[in-house]
Amino acid sequence: MRTKIIAGNWKMNTSLADAHILATGVRDGVEHIERIETILCPPSIWLASVAHDIVQKGQYPHLHLGAQNMYYEDAGAFTGEISPVMVKEVAEYVILGHSERTHVFGESIELINNKVHASLAHGITPILCVGEDDQTETSKQIVLDTLRKLLDGVSEEDIKKVVVAYEPVWAIGTGKAATPEYAQEVIGYLREILSSDTRILYGGSANDENAKSYLSQPDIDGLLIGGASLKLKVFLTMCQIADDIGQDLGHQSLHS
Ligand code: PGA
Protein backbone atom coordinates (compact mmCIF):
# COMPACT_ATOMS: atom_id res chain seq x y z
CA MET A 1 0.00 0.00 0.00
CA ARG A 2 1.27 3.48 -0.85
CA THR A 3 1.59 5.66 2.27
CA LYS A 4 -0.31 8.91 1.82
CA ILE A 5 1.53 12.23 1.84
CA ILE A 6 0.35 15.62 3.00
CA ALA A 7 2.90 18.21 1.92
CA GLY A 8 2.79 21.92 2.70
CA ASN A 9 4.47 24.27 0.24
CA TRP A 10 4.84 27.53 2.12
CA LYS A 11 6.22 29.27 -0.99
CA MET A 12 7.75 32.73 -0.25
CA ASN A 13 5.78 33.21 2.95
CA THR A 14 6.43 33.41 6.72
CA SER A 15 8.79 35.43 8.88
CA LEU A 16 11.27 33.41 10.92
CA ALA A 17 8.97 33.76 13.94
CA ASP A 18 5.92 32.63 11.92
CA ALA A 19 7.86 29.68 10.51
CA HIS A 20 8.74 28.60 14.04
CA ILE A 21 5.13 28.88 15.23
CA LEU A 22 3.78 26.98 12.22
CA ALA A 23 6.44 24.25 12.30
CA THR A 24 6.13 23.57 16.01
CA GLY A 25 2.33 23.69 15.74
CA VAL A 26 2.41 21.04 13.01
CA ARG A 27 5.00 19.02 14.93
CA ASP A 28 2.79 18.87 18.00
CA GLY A 29 -0.40 18.42 16.01
CA VAL A 30 0.79 15.40 14.00
CA GLU A 31 2.36 13.59 16.92
CA HIS A 32 -0.38 10.95 16.80
CA ILE A 33 -0.91 11.06 13.04
CA GLU A 34 1.31 8.18 12.11
CA ARG A 35 -0.26 6.50 9.09
CA ILE A 36 0.75 9.25 6.68
CA GLU A 37 3.88 11.22 5.90
CA THR A 38 3.63 14.92 6.60
CA ILE A 39 6.14 17.09 4.76
CA LEU A 40 6.83 20.78 5.40
CA CYS A 41 8.52 22.84 2.69
CA PRO A 42 9.46 26.21 4.18
CA PRO A 43 11.49 28.88 2.35
CA SER A 44 15.10 27.66 2.05
CA ILE A 45 16.39 30.38 4.36
CA TRP A 46 14.32 28.89 7.22
CA LEU A 47 15.04 25.22 6.50
CA ALA A 48 17.78 24.75 9.08
CA SER A 49 15.81 26.54 11.75
CA VAL A 50 12.63 24.53 11.04
CA ALA A 51 14.73 21.35 10.98
CA HIS A 52 15.89 22.25 14.45
CA ASP A 53 12.28 22.88 15.52
CA ILE A 54 10.92 19.57 14.31
CA VAL A 55 13.73 17.04 14.32
CA GLN A 56 14.22 16.36 17.97
CA LYS A 57 16.09 13.11 18.43
CA GLY A 58 13.97 11.27 15.87
CA GLN A 59 10.85 11.78 17.94
CA TYR A 60 8.78 12.60 14.87
CA PRO A 61 9.50 9.91 12.30
CA HIS A 62 6.40 10.74 10.21
CA LEU A 63 7.22 14.44 9.86
CA HIS A 64 9.68 15.41 7.14
CA LEU A 65 11.19 18.47 5.56
CA GLY A 66 11.44 19.44 1.93
CA ALA A 67 13.17 22.24 0.06
CA GLN A 68 11.10 24.16 -2.49
CA ASN A 69 13.81 24.05 -5.14
CA MET A 70 17.55 23.49 -5.64
CA TYR A 71 20.21 23.62 -8.34
CA TYR A 72 21.76 20.41 -9.66
CA GLU A 73 25.47 21.14 -9.13
CA ASP A 74 27.09 20.17 -5.83
CA ALA A 75 28.91 23.48 -5.24
CA GLY A 76 30.48 26.41 -7.03
CA ALA A 77 29.87 29.84 -8.47
CA PHE A 78 26.07 29.78 -8.64
CA THR A 79 25.00 32.91 -6.78
CA GLY A 80 21.66 32.61 -5.04
CA GLU A 81 21.30 28.85 -5.44
CA ILE A 82 21.31 25.96 -2.99
CA SER A 83 22.79 22.56 -3.86
CA PRO A 84 21.68 18.96 -3.29
CA VAL A 85 24.60 18.56 -0.87
CA MET A 86 23.20 21.41 1.23
CA VAL A 87 19.59 20.26 1.00
CA LYS A 88 20.58 16.78 2.09
CA GLU A 89 21.90 18.08 5.40
CA VAL A 90 18.48 19.31 6.47
CA ALA A 91 15.75 17.82 4.25
CA GLU A 92 14.69 14.54 2.69
CA TYR A 93 12.49 15.95 -0.07
CA VAL A 94 12.74 18.67 -2.68
CA ILE A 95 9.95 20.15 -4.79
CA LEU A 96 11.14 20.33 -8.40
CA GLY A 97 9.60 21.92 -11.46
CA HIS A 98 6.81 23.77 -9.68
CA SER A 99 4.86 25.82 -12.22
CA GLU A 100 5.98 29.01 -10.49
CA ARG A 101 9.56 27.97 -11.26
CA THR A 102 8.76 27.40 -14.91
CA HIS A 103 6.41 30.36 -15.41
CA VAL A 104 8.06 33.06 -13.29
CA PHE A 105 11.69 31.95 -13.46
CA GLY A 106 11.71 30.34 -16.90
CA GLU A 107 13.01 26.93 -15.85
CA SER A 108 13.21 24.51 -18.77
CA ILE A 109 12.32 20.84 -18.87
CA GLU A 110 16.02 20.01 -19.39
CA LEU A 111 17.01 21.97 -16.29
CA ILE A 112 14.35 20.27 -14.18
CA ASN A 113 15.38 16.87 -15.56
CA ASN A 114 18.97 17.58 -14.44
CA LYS A 115 17.67 18.44 -10.99
CA VAL A 116 15.65 15.22 -10.81
CA HIS A 117 18.80 13.21 -11.56
CA ALA A 118 20.82 15.20 -9.01
CA SER A 119 18.24 14.74 -6.26
CA LEU A 120 18.07 10.98 -6.81
CA ALA A 121 21.86 10.71 -6.95
CA HIS A 122 22.01 12.38 -3.54
CA GLY A 123 19.22 10.34 -2.00
CA ILE A 124 16.78 13.26 -1.84
CA THR A 125 13.24 12.39 -2.92
CA PRO A 126 11.98 14.73 -5.62
CA ILE A 127 8.39 15.93 -5.49
CA LEU A 128 8.18 16.47 -9.22
CA CYS A 129 5.43 18.83 -10.35
CA VAL A 130 3.62 18.58 -13.65
CA GLY A 131 0.39 20.09 -14.92
CA GLU A 132 -1.28 21.66 -17.92
CA ASP A 133 -1.74 25.42 -18.33
CA ASP A 134 -5.35 25.19 -19.53
CA GLN A 135 -7.93 22.47 -19.28
CA THR A 136 -8.55 21.21 -22.83
CA GLU A 137 -9.26 17.91 -24.52
CA THR A 138 -5.52 17.28 -24.94
CA SER A 139 -4.59 18.09 -21.32
CA LYS A 140 -3.99 14.49 -20.32
CA GLN A 141 -1.68 13.87 -23.24
CA ILE A 142 0.25 17.09 -22.66
CA VAL A 143 0.79 16.22 -19.01
CA LEU A 144 1.90 12.69 -19.85
CA ASP A 145 4.32 13.87 -22.56
CA THR A 146 5.80 16.49 -20.22
CA LEU A 147 6.22 13.97 -17.43
CA ARG A 148 8.03 11.60 -19.79
CA LYS A 149 10.52 14.35 -20.65
CA LEU A 150 10.96 15.39 -17.02
CA LEU A 151 11.80 11.78 -16.16
CA ASP A 152 14.04 11.20 -19.17
CA GLY A 153 16.86 8.81 -18.29
CA VAL A 154 15.49 7.97 -14.83
CA SER A 155 15.66 4.22 -14.23
CA GLU A 156 12.57 2.14 -13.47
CA GLU A 157 13.95 1.52 -10.00
CA ASP A 158 14.32 5.26 -9.35
CA ILE A 159 10.88 6.08 -10.77
CA LYS A 160 9.44 4.15 -7.81
CA LYS A 161 11.14 6.63 -5.46
CA VAL A 162 9.93 9.79 -7.19
CA VAL A 163 6.83 11.53 -5.83
CA VAL A 164 4.85 13.15 -8.64
CA ALA A 165 2.57 16.11 -7.97
CA TYR A 166 -0.09 16.67 -10.58
CA GLU A 167 -0.89 20.36 -10.35
CA PRO A 168 -3.06 21.84 -13.10
CA VAL A 169 -1.74 25.39 -13.40
CA TRP A 170 -5.27 26.80 -13.73
CA ALA A 171 -6.08 25.41 -10.26
CA ILE A 172 -3.05 26.73 -8.35
CA GLY A 173 -3.89 29.54 -5.98
CA THR A 174 -7.08 30.32 -7.89
CA GLY A 175 -9.71 28.67 -5.71
CA LYS A 176 -10.78 26.76 -8.85
CA ALA A 177 -9.76 23.28 -7.78
CA ALA A 178 -9.97 20.44 -10.31
CA THR A 179 -12.84 18.08 -9.65
CA PRO A 180 -11.68 14.92 -7.85
CA GLU A 181 -12.93 12.85 -10.81
CA TYR A 182 -10.87 14.89 -13.27
CA ALA A 183 -7.76 14.73 -11.04
CA GLN A 184 -8.23 10.96 -10.72
CA GLU A 185 -8.61 10.59 -14.48
CA VAL A 186 -5.34 12.41 -15.23
CA ILE A 187 -3.44 10.78 -12.38
CA GLY A 188 -4.67 7.33 -13.41
CA TYR A 189 -3.39 8.07 -16.91
CA LEU A 190 0.02 9.17 -15.57
CA ARG A 191 0.31 5.97 -13.62
CA GLU A 192 0.57 4.18 -16.96
CA ILE A 193 4.17 5.32 -17.34
CA LEU A 194 4.99 5.16 -13.67
CA SER A 195 5.35 2.28 -11.28
CA SER A 196 2.38 1.20 -9.19
CA ASP A 197 4.66 2.08 -6.25
CA THR A 198 5.11 5.71 -7.30
CA ARG A 199 3.12 8.11 -5.19
CA ILE A 200 1.15 10.73 -7.10
CA LEU A 201 -0.26 13.77 -5.34
CA TYR A 202 -2.85 16.30 -6.42
CA GLY A 203 -2.20 20.02 -5.94
CA GLY A 204 -4.24 23.13 -6.74
CA SER A 205 -6.57 24.90 -4.30
CA ALA A 206 -6.77 21.87 -2.04
CA ASN A 207 -8.25 22.67 1.36
CA ASP A 208 -9.88 21.06 4.37
CA GLU A 209 -13.27 20.98 2.63
CA ASN A 210 -12.21 19.16 -0.55
CA ALA A 211 -9.33 17.05 0.83
CA LYS A 212 -11.45 13.99 1.52
CA SER A 213 -12.83 13.84 -2.01
CA TYR A 214 -9.31 13.75 -3.51
CA LEU A 215 -7.84 11.39 -0.97
CA SER A 216 -10.66 8.89 -1.52
CA GLN A 217 -9.72 8.47 -5.20
CA PRO A 218 -7.88 5.23 -5.93
CA ASP A 219 -4.81 6.77 -7.60
CA ILE A 220 -4.43 9.96 -5.55
CA ASP A 221 -1.85 9.35 -2.86
CA GLY A 222 -1.84 12.73 -1.19
CA LEU A 223 -1.91 16.48 -1.58
CA LEU A 224 0.61 19.23 -2.26
CA ILE A 225 -0.88 22.23 -0.51
CA GLY A 226 0.01 25.89 -0.96
CA GLY A 227 -2.23 28.52 0.62
CA ALA A 228 -4.02 26.17 3.03
CA SER A 229 -0.70 24.89 4.44
CA LEU A 230 -0.09 28.29 6.03
CA LYS A 231 -3.16 27.91 8.23
CA LEU A 232 -2.22 25.59 11.06
CA LYS A 233 -5.71 24.36 11.91
CA VAL A 234 -6.68 23.79 8.30
CA PHE A 235 -3.43 21.96 7.53
CA LEU A 236 -3.77 19.72 10.59
CA THR A 237 -7.37 18.93 9.64
CA MET A 238 -6.13 17.81 6.22
CA CYS A 239 -3.47 15.61 7.84
CA GLN A 240 -6.16 14.06 10.04
CA ILE A 241 -8.44 13.39 7.05
CA ALA A 242 -5.59 11.63 5.21
CA ASP A 243 -4.77 9.60 8.30
CA ASP A 244 -8.41 8.56 8.73
CA ILE A 245 -8.59 7.47 5.09
CA GLY A 246 -5.34 5.53 5.55
CA GLN A 247 -6.96 3.74 8.47
CA ASP A 248 -10.05 2.87 6.41
CA LEU A 249 -7.89 1.51 3.58
CA GLY A 250 -5.80 -0.55 5.99
CA HIS A 251 -8.98 -1.93 7.50
CA GLN A 252 -10.34 -2.83 4.05
CA SER A 253 -7.16 -4.63 2.99
CA LEU A 254 -7.19 -6.68 6.18
CA HIS A 255 -10.66 -7.87 5.27
CA SER A 256 -10.21 -8.36 1.54
P1 PGA B 1 -2.46 26.20 -3.74
O2 PGA B 1 -0.97 25.89 -4.27
O3 PGA B 1 -2.83 25.08 -2.80
O4 PGA B 1 -2.34 27.52 -3.06
O5 PGA B 1 -3.33 26.23 -4.93
C6 PGA B 1 -0.57 24.58 -4.58
C7 PGA B 1 0.86 24.58 -5.02
O8 PGA B 1 1.28 25.55 -5.67
O9 PGA B 1 1.60 23.62 -4.75
Q: pLDDT tens digits, residue range 160-177?
A: 999 999 999 999 999 999
Confidence of residue 223 (pLDDT cuts 50, 70, 90): very high
Our answer to whether residue 98 is catalytic in this structure is yes
Total domains, the chain: 1
Q: Has residue 208 got a pLDDT over 90?
A: yes
CA atoms of 99 and 146, how far apart (whole Å)? 12
pLDDT digits 0-9 by tens, 92-106: 999 999 999 999 999
Residues within a 6 A CB radius of ligand 1: 9, 167, 172-173, 203-206, 224-228
Domain region containing 117? 5-254
Question: Ligand 1: which residue has its CA nearest to atom 7?
Answer: 226
Which tens digit of pLDDT belongs to each residue from 51-84? Answer: 999 876 567 889 999 999 999 999 999 999 999 9
Catalytic residue among 37, 64, 98, 100: 98
Residues ≥6 apart with Cβ < 8 Å to 3: 35, 36, 37, 199, 221, 246
Q: Determine whether 167 is an active site residue.
A: yes
| Percent of the chain residues past pLDDT 70, beyond the cut | 95
CATH number for 12: 3.20.20.70
Q: Is the pLDDT at 255 greater than 60, yes or no?
A: no
